[in-house]
Amino acid sequence: MASSSSSPIIIEKLIHTHTYKFILFFFFFLVFLASIKHSNGCYTSIFSFGDSIADTGNLACISESPQPPHFMLPPYGETYFHRPTGRCSDGRLVIDFIAEYLGLPLVPPYFGGQNGSCTNFQEGVNFAVVAKRNSQSLHKLFFGKSVGLVQENIAKKLLRNSLVLMGEIGGNDYNHAFDSGRNIEEIQSFVPPVINAIGFAINELIELGAVTLMVPGNFPIGCRPTFLTNFMSSNKEAYDPKTGCLIWLNEFAMYHNDMLQIELNRIQKLHPYATIIYADYYNAAMRFFRSPIEYGFSGGALTACCGARGPYNFDPSVECGYPASTACHDPSSHVSWDGLHMTEAAYRWIAKGLLQGPYTVPPINTSFCVSLPVISTKSSK
């Protein structure tokens, strides 16, 4: 394990990995704003940035591997799409439920269009991408694209009626650090540059005309089968007796979320005409671990539906989708899909908590939208 004296080097590397990919995605997005027409009414489009929690197919479109990524193999996508789509779940994600609730089409991945790029931004686009560990291909791709000239007056017309979903962001940086054996003090030192990167992008988008931005915090990572497996402890005091989650990992997630909210409040004061919404993914998800049966998770809150072996049905050497893995009969009975990502059923509950309360601060304003549906929490299978 590296000593604390190496932290500046580690942080520098951090800024040039997953979080930096997000910034590059953001600038790549700005190039194309000028081609969009404006329309009135409810949110007319959604623009999304983030990682595998929100990726609707970007990495699947640009993967150069001769073998498909594991999330492009069955049983991914089985619940709603009945085929893999590049989403890291059995079905829809939070962003999909938000789009449906607002009466918009599912937000397409940027790289899912003709010739590997999206040409119609009218109803939004998704720049979120699954992180490829130890790969610089995305860096080269986005460095190779010129930012170009952005006609800000047109960009403002587009962004004014758009909902911008910023994340979650930072999770991959932390995941990689935990997987690399960094100690908690080192990983906590990564939080400020991650928060700064998020704040930078928010400021830029607001200056370009964004009015409504939803910024999620991190999930309770101490409840994920991945972390429960990798950091399994014989010390009973390491676990929350009410949930079975690892306390110290959830405390880290809360630390990130506290710092993020401080930054969002700071930016909100700078831009009082914009609405910056904190999406409380942490507490929206903690409901499942405290009272799984109440939310229909009879198969277990801490056990992956799709995986292999062990008390949490997770083995890092046997990823969901590969031959040695198996999937549960009913994904809607589980919170976790593959050990890292959640099931459609869990994401549906989270989306409901964001859109219909009480897990956004301030509440998202849909008063100018008409005939909004009530989000059903029944399985679509």
DSSP code of residue 188: H
What is the tally of helices (H) and strands (E) in the chain? Answer: 13, 8
Whether 338 is a known active-site residue: answer yes
Whether 240 is a known active-site residue: answer no
Whether 96 is a known active-site residue: answer no
Catalytic residue among 45, 48, 52, 89: 52
User: What Cα–Cα distance (Å) separates residue 231 from each residue in 101, 304, 373?
Assistant: 38, 16, 41
Query: Is residue 15 within a helix (H) or strand (E), and if so which, with residue range?
Result: helix 7-15
CA 222/CA 256 separation, integer angstroms:
13
Closest CA to 22 of 192, 196, 250, 184: 196
Report whether 244 contacts 195 (CB < 8 A).
no
Catalytic residue among 18, 176, 256, 341: 341
DSSP code of residue 127: -
Closest CA to 87 of 58, 116, 55, 62: 55
Task: Give catalytic residues, as residue numbers.
Answer: 52, 338, 341
